Every structure is written in structure tokens, then in C-alpha cells.
Amino acid sequence: MPITTIGTILDLLLNTTLSLIGIFEVLAVVAFFYGLALFLFNRESKTINERGKNIMVWGAVALFVMVSIWGIIGLLQNTFIGDGPGPARPEIRVPSFS
């Protein structure tokens, strides 16, 4: 795909950013579970246990921040830009008993 217009450059940037966000989310989950494994399986070593706890906490903080920012951006998009076409919503018909 040749980069000829600003639109293609922006599409490339957007796709790259979305891919990187997904990679960072996976890394945060892996870090959390790595810290959990260090915390659970190294009970006798106080330093490794603390290190596992720190990794676990920072992995959870990273996930919380990423999900929060994702939600705030979605809220701002829906507020200022709108929902867009989206999926069609079914019409609900309430039966009448007369």
C-alpha cells in the first residue's frame, strides 16, 4: 500500500497505534500473572515474594489505566462525535390486553 495521501498516513498510524495498544494490554496481563506466580510459588524467599507482589500490583495498575483511558475516550467520542450508524436496534412491541 503506497503512502500517498494524508488519509493513508493517518490510517497507517491508527492501525499501528491500535496494534501497539493490544500488545501492551497483553504484556500487562502477562506481567500480572508472572507476578502472581512469583508471589505464590516463592513463599520462602521474602525478596522474590515482594518482587512478585510489586509486579502484580503494577500489572493491575497498568490494566486499570489502559481500560480507564479506553472508557474515557469512548465516552468523549460518544458525547462529541455521536454513536455513528452502529447496529440496528430492534423495535420492541408491547402487547396490549384489551
Name the residue ranges covered by the structural domains of the chain.
Answer: 10-80
The per-residue pLDDT for 91 is 76
Which one is predicted more confidently, 42 or 94? Answer: 42
3-class secondary structure per residue, 28-59? HHHHHHHHHHHHHHCCCCHHHHHHHHHHHHHH
Q: Is the pTM of this model over 0.75?
A: no
Average of per-residue pLDDT values in the chain: 83
